[in-house]
Amino acid sequence: MRRQLNTLYVTTDGAWLRKDGANVVMEVDRDERVRLPAHMLEGLVCIGRVGISPPLMGYCMEQGISISHLTSQGRFQARVEGPVSGNVLLRRAQYRASDDPVRCAAIVRHVLIGKIHNQRAVLARGWRDHGSGIPDVPAFQHALKRLKHIPRRLLQEHDVDVLRGREGEAAKSYFGVFDQLIRVDVPALRFSGRNRRPPRDAFNALLSFFYTLITHDCRSALETVGLDPAVGFLHRDRPGRPSLALDLAEELRPLLGERMALSLINRRQLNERDFQVFDNGAVLLKEQARKTALVAYQERKREQLGHAFLEEKVDIGLLPFLQAQLLARHLRGDLDGYPPFLWK
């Protein structure tokens, strides 16, 4: 159980939450594990098999404390709130910001600063760990410099379309040298550029699989904090598309997408036999490969890293929820700007 931004995240399977006086108590097999002051809570997120006593649920409803339930895999199930909820006000603020070119551009700018910063972090770690094996050092170093410079240019831009153009420049530099991070000399596992719908090589198939998982987690996080996953800023409205979930996923893709794919390939946890090629050229993961990738993804989410804005260690699996909360706080006016996730 961890408390982040005054929201209590309960991830222990079989946990039982109850109210004892002015405190919230978590028990496992009737053994008290945690005790926290109830007045400090703003939200309660239960992940997996977590039970809540009726008195605690009643207290949360009276105090306007939302309770969200997710599966152990992070899929959103339900959100319980009392009769007075700030959801409608938050969503109105979200819709106004999405329609306001100035506010929309400000949020997009910070999302892209986070994304490009984290893309550069992937390359920098590759250089730090395996710099001697980089085939084209000048091109790789040039990409690192470009990805350091582009976020500074974003600070001077105030038009969403121009910001998207800068994102495209960063992607070209990033993916242009990405194949140099692959240390397996198997042609079928090399990366020649990003392609999708459908992916046409093994590495892109793996990226698309992880991107889907990340977007799924971001959608659950947005629903948990009360934001509308369909109304975004970088990704515009389109029927059936979770635009805001795609926005939120951008900052997390380098860490949970590209870095994860590199690890599975370079550690030979997946090989060319784990992918199926179809007649139309599409390449997809076979069933066992999907299981391998999913297990690795869930294990990664249980690890911790430092959050630059919060200045504390957090579970990687909570990043979508923390970023969704920070975005909600910005939209409510509690934060001057949206603080993106910056991977160190």
- The CATH code of the domain that includes 237 is 1.20.120.920
Residue 298 pLDDT:
83
One domain, residues 141 and 284: yes
Check whether 157 is labelled as a binding-site residue: no
Residue 83 pLDDT:
66
Instruction: Render pLDDT for 246-258 as a digit per residue (tens, 0 to 9).
Output: 999 999 999 999 9
pLDDT of residue 307 exceeding 70, the answer is yes
One domain, residues 24 and 104: no
Check whether 287 is labelled as a binding-site residue: no
Look at residues 311, 313, 300 and name the one whose alpha carbon lies nearest to residue 339: 311
For residue 339, is it within any domain? Answer: no
- Provide the 3-class DSSP secondary structure of residue 262: helix
For residue 251, is it within any domain? Answer: yes
Domain boundary among 85, 104, 131: 85
Range of the domain at 6: 2-85
Mean model confidence pLDDT for the chain = 90
- The CATH code of the domain that includes 62 is 3.100.10.20
| Residue 198 CB burial class (10 angstroms; 0-12, 13-18, ≥19) | middle
One domain, residues 39 and 115: no
One domain, residues 72 and 125: no
For residue 343, is it within any domain? Answer: no
For residue 263, is it within any domain? Answer: yes
Domain boundary among 70, 85, 100: 85
Instruction: Render pLDDT for 196-233 as a digit per residue (tens, 0 to 9).
Output: 788 888 999 999 989 988 998 898 889 889 899 999 99
Q: Residues 6 or more apart from 300 whose CB is under 8 A from it?
A: 256, 260, 316
- Provide the 3-class DSSP secondary structure of residue 256: helix
Instruction: Render pLDDT for 224-244 as a digit per residue (tens, 0 to 9).
Output: 898 999 999 999 988 888 999
Domain boundary among 38, 53, 85: 85
Contact 248, 323 (CB under 8 A): yes
Read off the tokens for 220: 């659950």
Overall number of domains in the chain: 2
Check whether 117 is labelled as a binding-site residue: no
One domain, residues 165 and 313: yes
Q: How confident is the model at residue 64 (pLDDT cuts 50, 70, 90)?
A: confident
Residue 100 pLDDT:
97
- Provide the 3-class DSSP secondary structure of residue 7: strand
DSSP type of residue 179: G
One domain, residues 129 and 69: no
For residue 341, is it within any domain? Answer: no
pTM for the structure as a whole:
0.81
One domain, residues 119 and 42: no
For residue 340, is it within any domain? Answer: no
Distance between CA atoms of residues 68 and 77, nearest Å = 8
pLDDT of residue 58 exceeding 90, the answer is yes
How far does CA 152 lie from the centroid of its chain?
A: 23
One domain, residues 77 and 95: no
For residue 174, is it within any domain? Answer: yes
Q: Can you tell me the mean pLDDT for 40-63?
A: 88
Residue 85 pLDDT:
56
pLDDT of residue 5 exceeding 60, the answer is no
One domain, residues 183 and 284: yes
One domain, residues 205 and 130: yes
One domain, residues 118 and 266: yes
For residue 337, is it within any domain? Answer: no
User: How would DSSP label each residue in 65-131?
Assistant: -EEEEE-TT--EEEEE--SS-SHHHHHHHHHHHHH-HHHHHHHHHHHHHHHHHHHHHHHHHHHHHHG
One domain, residues 296 and 278: yes
Q: Can you tell me the mean pLDDT for 172-194?
A: 90
